[in-house]
Amino acid sequence: MNDIFIDVDYSQIYKHDQKIGGDVFLLSRNPDNNQIVCTLSDGLGSGVKANVLASLTAHMAHKLSFSPINLTHSAKIIMNTLPVCKERKISYSTFTIADIRFPSRDDIEVQLVEYDNPQALHFAGAEPLEWSRNLIDLQREGAFKKEILSQSQFRLAVGDRLVMFTDGVTQSGLGRSLPLGWRLDGARRFIKGQIEANANVSSRDLSRAIVRKAYALDGLVSQDDITCVVVYVRRPRRAVIVTGPPFTQEKDEVLGEKLKAFEGRKIISGGTTAQIVSRLFGKRIKVDMHSWSPDVPPCSTMDGVDLVTEGMLTLSKVATVLEKKIPTSELPDDAVRRFVDILLDSDQVHFIVGTKINEAHQDPSIPVEIGIRRTIIGRIRTALEQNYLKETSLEYL
């Protein structure tokens, strides 16, 4: 696994009384050439119409970013494809595209194209950085105002952040708590303060903090869709998930050594597996009834292990949460939520899967969706890699 991780996450609150957002964010990774593309688009208006316009723009930008076409040329193609609103004489959608390429830890290059979204912010630690932008006048027929495309290129180092957002952030509080809105300077000062308070704040937590602050400035009645994206270059945070007893009892010691040597957060999933580790480490297992819920058995605690859960049922529900991208804030404080929280707070997740057959799982009365352990682990890995761009690895014992 790589010794750097590019942590990308976003947070969003819809405009008040809307069931669908007019801001769309797309994120993809091309592992063949170490490329990540982030696309943030804001459709004209709100609701379904804005979502359709933003989705069209974002998907076009995303596809073109992975093509051989120059990113600035791609942006011009998008602008020439999108019509101008006949009533307002402005573009149907704004966008920000960040094409990040990282052949090595010391060579992380960003190509950034911005059209009518608030300017992105670059931080080295807590310090905001300025950089030059090339401005391109598009001169489209029928447009009410000058349409300026901004193109820039810069490098990211370990500890740097790139923050992108829609105008729901910078215009929050407009006419309410702030006569002119939060504006870019207000957002910049807030982000600086958040990083100073917690230098290792994750992209997920920082984007949430920014969106919650904008929502508060709107008096908890959002006047527009509020979306923030954070890109953070850092050392990887690692987690290991151990599930299932090894194929033979002789390999129990190998399992114990691997778990003891691992540097990072540790999860044991499965009662038999937990008993093996408890015996090897001489540690007691205690049930934590504070994590009780009607859907899954409660967690347990063990010194030296971050989380101990039941096996197949919990793993199956974790896979479903990750596949559906259900926010953990919507989950009860049970084993599934705690499991998912650790996975999402980690960048590299290693699975150690025992291959001994558990006769209990051959019972035909057990629901079909539980499946076999390997299938469920495969689902979790796929969801982590595709939905959250985590790096995963797997070994069998």
| Residue spans per domain, the chain | 5-234, 238-396
Which pair of tokens denotes residue 378? 């495969």
Tokens describing residue 145: 């105002």
pLDDT at 263 over 70: yes
Domain 238-396 indexed as CATH 3.40.50? yes
CA–CA distance, 203 with 231 (Å, rounded to integer): 6
Structure confidence at residue 369 (pLDDT): 39
As a whole-number percent, the residues of the chain with pLDDT over 70 amount to 91
What's the chain's average pLDDT? 87
241-262 pLDDT, tens digit each: 999 899 888 899 999 999 999 9
CATH number for 5-234 (one of 3.60.40.10, 3.40.50.1980, 3.40.30.10, 1.10.357.10): it is 3.60.40.10
Measured CA to CA, the distance from residue 279 to residue 299 in angstroms comes to 18
Taking the C-alpha atoms of residue 56 and residue 36, their distance in angstroms, rounded to an integer, is 20
Phi, psi of 383 (to 5 degrees): -65, -40
pLDDT at 1: 59
> Are 5-234 and 238-396 in the same CATH fold?
no
Say which amino acid occupies 28. Answer: S
Q: Give residue 370's pLDDT.
A: 41
Residue % of the chain over a pLDDT of 90: 59
d(CA 226, CA 281): 48
Write the CB contacts of 46 (distance below 8 Å, at least 6 apart in sequence): 15, 18, 22, 224, 225
Are 46 and 166 spatial neighbours (Cβ–Cβ below 8 Å)? no
Q: What is the pLDDT of residues 302-349, one digit of tens each?
A: 999 999 999 999 999 999 999 999 988 889 999 999 999 999 989 899
Within 8 A by CB and 6+ apart from 64, the residues are 71, 74, 77, 78
**Model pTM score:** 0.75
